[in-house]
Amino acid sequence: MKKVIFALPLVFAACTAPETTKVAEAFDVKYLDHSVTACEDFFQHTAGGWIEENPIPETETRWGRFNELIETNKHRLRSILEEVSSGTYANGTDEQLIGDLFASAMDSVARNQAGLTPLEPYLDRVSQVTSIEELFTLMGENKFNGVGAPLSMYVSTDAKNSSAHALYVGQSGLGLPDRDYYLREDSAGLVLQQQYRDHIARVSALVGKQWDVEAIYRLEKAMANAMKSRVEMRNSVARYNPMTLEAWQTLAPDMPITAYMKAIGVEADTLINSSPEYFSRFNEACAETGLETWKQYYQWHVADAVANILNDEFETLNFEFYSKILNGIPQMNPRWKRAQGAVGSLGDQLGHLYADRYFPEESKAQVEAMVEDLRAAFRDRITGLNWMSDTTKEKALIKLEAFTYKIGYPDKWKNLSDLNLSRESYFENSKTISRYFTMDNLAKLDQPVDKDEWGMGAHIVNAYYNPLNNEVVFPAGILQPPFFNPDADDAINYGAIGGVIGHEFSHGFDDQGANYGADGNLENWWTDGDKERFEALTSKLTAQYDAYEVLPGVHVNGNLTLGENIADLGGLTLAYHAYVKHRGENEVALIDGFSDEQRIFLGWAQVWQMHGRDEYLKNQVVTDPHSPGKFRVNGPMSNMPEFNAAFGCENSGVAKAEADQIIIW
């Protein structure tokens, strides 16, 4: 028997509708796994039933509630894409651009007929190169064609002057997902390295070349050896190294960076170099590696960059290694999904059509109110911190008040009416788009930062914090169940989307976000003592996650995931207190036997009902700064006295004794 007395305005409306369906949509208790208690393993307790009933589809490497929402969105986008690709629209309209791009990607007959022919002139140009300088010129030119190797050069907000832009240069140019793949010496690692070399050899044969695969691999391994690790690359202070071109000549005299810059048409006296040690060692590779190896290495990367925009044969070959071997995915996605991925490069255009159809305007005001609730909760938490001095608290509160937010979709959409796309050739369309956005990015160097710009399409199921704008952003795509459900009780929504909002807020105060001030500049606003106490707390959290075992012998990397783990812990804590404040003195009845305090935790856990293939998990711990779903649930809960109180847990399983709990924000 369910007797529900809603005391909150938001859910009054739900009383008039059939109660059972509404509650079931909010959190379905049939997915609870009663073989484990909430205190023992909250993730398993809340996700076990769902996992049991929802095996990972053959085309996926992981599956969860998150993915279900993405899947729903894909079907909605499909209906938009099929409609606009079968109609006739004026050139340069959003409909024409994405309609023609989608149609060209779907045209398997034309793509297969063209085969690898479109790639040939690009490989030929590499063959004709006679010096390393000429090669770097060509590399610069091909940046406009979507070939990034062997370095990453782009314009972005200057981290120490957040209203202006700067030219950045960073390490790049590997074919495996991370430098760590090259450094492994265990047997599984060696097997993977061999499979990668086999893949390069197959591509070499496919494009009719006789590359020396061992030499290419040795060069990539030398680059990998010189690279900073992902953990080191997280360090926002160590990443900021302004360097004049003169200083560059001393650092890497054999690497013709000026030829590269000339080719991309950028004039700058100063570059911000994210890993100087890398480039000095890269310089050794430039000096020691023969031109022929460089050319073959580069041909391999030119081919790799276009593997998915040519014919079926190349796409399948690419799938066999990158999806099947690296991620354990048995089966390729249907063509419409692959083509849809391609249209994602026109994020504003697709997002615009999506938001017009699928984003209820009322959601914006509701989420806005929650953002302010979360900010208020954070204000209280900062004020009440026992480890932070008043001096630093004052600065933290200034930063908190300065946070801006974007919800749903941009106020103004990017105008791409001068972009020329047709149905003729998917390959040419891809090059045109790549050229357009590369030029657009490089042209920003002399322009002020446009704070209204979005870093994500409105249709995307995700959210982000941008420290350089000190802003949190929630696209329309994520403002749907299980994250935001207008029909659910408030506790569920505060736990889910409230937790996400709190998570993004907390990024502004995670181990890296805390290095940025209220205006988005990299600057220290901490006293030494507070910084020390903060670091003592965060290193405890690192140790906690280091101990989490994902698969036998495979652990979470506590340093790589530190920022996300701080954000999960902060986010859920803020969501809890924002809810309690919002509820006030009102009494809220149990739903399905759960109190509202308990339902906050159910709301968060529901979002992370998920599982992944072994290959996915192994890949995730190396490349992904997020912890696996299980630890995004159990990790924060273990450190919350609020969790222990809500479920009556003491020191067992997930629940830690209060003295051991790590409370940061």
**Positions that interact with Zn ion (CB under 5 A):** 564, 567
Tokens of 332: 């390729």
Contact (Cβ atoms closer than 8 angstroms) between residue 245 and residue 258: yes
- Burial of residue 583 (number of CB atoms within 10 Å: 0-12, 13-18, 19+): middle
Q: Which is nearer to Zn ion, 333 or 466 (CB)?
A: 466
CB of 62 to Zn ion, least distance (A): 17
CB of 472 to Zn ion, least distance (A): 10
Contact (Cβ atoms closer than 8 angstroms) between residue 565 and residue 578: no
CA torsion 557→560→562→564, rounded to 10°? -110
CB of 147 to Zn ion, least distance (A): 30
CB of 498 to Zn ion, least distance (A): 15
Q: Which is nearer to Zn ion, 160 or 626 (CB)?
A: 626
Q: Which is nearer to Zn ion, 339 or 500 (CB)?
A: 500
CB of 599 to Zn ion, least distance (A): 23
CB of 507 to Zn ion, least distance (A): 6
CB of 462 to Zn ion, least distance (A): 9
Angstrom distance (rounded) from CA 56 to CA 327: 13
Contact (Cβ atoms closer than 8 angstroms) between residue 69 and residue 346: no
Q: Which is nearer to Zn ion, 73 or 561 (CB)?
A: 561
Tokens of 24: 């079931």
Kindly give, in sequence order, each residue whose CB lies less than 8 Å from that of residue 147, ignoring residues fewer than 6 positions away: 139, 301, 302, 305
Of 517, 425, 424, the residue nearest 467 (C-alpha): 517
In Å, what is the CA distance from 7 to each residue of 441, 469, 490, 601? 51, 38, 10, 19
Q: Which is nearer to Zn ion, 213 or 567 (CB)?
A: 567
CB of 503 to Zn ion, least distance (A): 6
CB of 564 to Zn ion, least distance (A): 5
Tokens of 115: 């085969």
Angstrom distance (rounded) from CA 204 to CA 307: 12
Q: Which is nearer to Zn ion, 140 or 636 (CB)?
A: 636
Q: Which is nearer to Zn ion, 605 or 655 (CB)?
A: 605
What single letter denotes the amino acid at residue 117?
A: T
In Å, what is the CA distance from 550 to each residue of 188, 618, 663? 17, 8, 24
3-state secondary structure of 146: coil
Angstrom distance (rounded) from CA 156 to CA 449: 9
Q: Which is nearer to Zn ion, 377 or 567 (CB)?
A: 567
Q: Give Cα 226 to chain centroid, integer Å.
A: 25
Paired residues of 165 in beta bridges: 157
Q: Which is nearer to Zn ion, 271 or 622 (CB)?
A: 622
Angstrom distance (rounded) from CA 489 to CA 487: 7
CB of 653 to Zn ion, least distance (A): 26
Angstrom distance (rounded) from CA 197 to CA 58: 26
In DSSP notation, 546-588 reads HT-EEETTEE--TTTTHHHHHHHHHHHHHHHHHHHHHHTT---
Q: Which is nearer to Zn ion, 564 or 596 (CB)?
A: 564
CA torsion 121→125→127→129, rounded to 10°? 180
Q: Which is nearer to Zn ion, 100 or 564 (CB)?
A: 564
CB of 625 to Zn ion, least distance (A): 8
Q: What does the H/E/C string look like for 82-135?
A: HHHHHCCCCCCCHHHHHHHHHHHHHCHHHHHHHCCHHHHHHHHHHHCCCCHHHH
Angstrom distance (rounded) from CA 437 to CA 433: 6
Q: Which is nearer to Zn ion, 333 or 565 (CB)?
A: 565
Q: Which is nearer to Zn ion, 171 or 565 (CB)?
A: 565
Q: Which is nearer to Zn ion, 149 or 567 (CB)?
A: 567
CB of 181 to Zn ion, least distance (A): 24
CB of 567 to Zn ion, least distance (A): 5
CB of 118 to Zn ion, least distance (A): 38
Phi and psi at 519, nearest 5°, equal -90, 5
In Å, what is the CA distance from 353 to each residue of 18, 98, 419? 33, 10, 18
CB of 509 to Zn ion, least distance (A): 12
CB of 483 to Zn ion, least distance (A): 14
Angstrom distance (rounded) from CA 73 to CA 68: 9
Q: Which is nearer to Zn ion, 153 or 562 (CB)?
A: 562
Paired residues of 503 in beta bridges: none
Angstrom distance (rounded) from CA 485 to CA 363: 9
3-state secondary structure of 425: coil
Q: Which is nearer to Zn ion, 67 or 85 (CB)?
A: 67
What single letter denotes the amino acid at residue 424?
A: E
